[in-house]
Amino acid sequence: MNDATLMLRQIHPSFIKQGQITSQAFRPTIKDDKKLSVYDNDMITAKKAYEHYTKKLFHDMAKDLVEVGAMDEVTMRTVESLCLPEKKVFLPEDIRRIRTTNHLSQPVFALISAFILHQAGLNRTDFLDL
């Protein structure tokens, strides 16, 4: 981040009056723990920030509907599949670059990857034996 970095903020349409954003959009509330949520434009584009914001809200609302019995689990799985980010394909060179940039040996990188899969329920490796 530098002086030219744009900070992106999602705001409610009610914060726009006569085509102008009101100062309310940039005033944190007690509910916000006096902090503003923003996206760093050096790390994410405006389009990706918007997609993240809307998909997260959509997913959270669907979870609430399941909890109160207004939506079934099958529909929830459909919602979750819509909220998943596009799958990125990594070539071996990409993985090597990521590993070396982060100063990780191949075994450590593999262990981290396996643990992430395990946490996501995609791998049945027993980590108690490690």
* Residue 12: predicted pLDDT: 77
92 CA to centre of own chain = 25
- All residue ranges of the chain with pLDDT < 70 are 84-87, 112, 115-130
User: Residue 2: its pLDDT value, please?
Assistant: 79
pTM of the model: 0.39
Span 74-104, pLDDT tens digits: 888 888 777 766 667 778 888 888 888 888 7
C-alpha 48/C-alpha 39 separation (Å) is 10
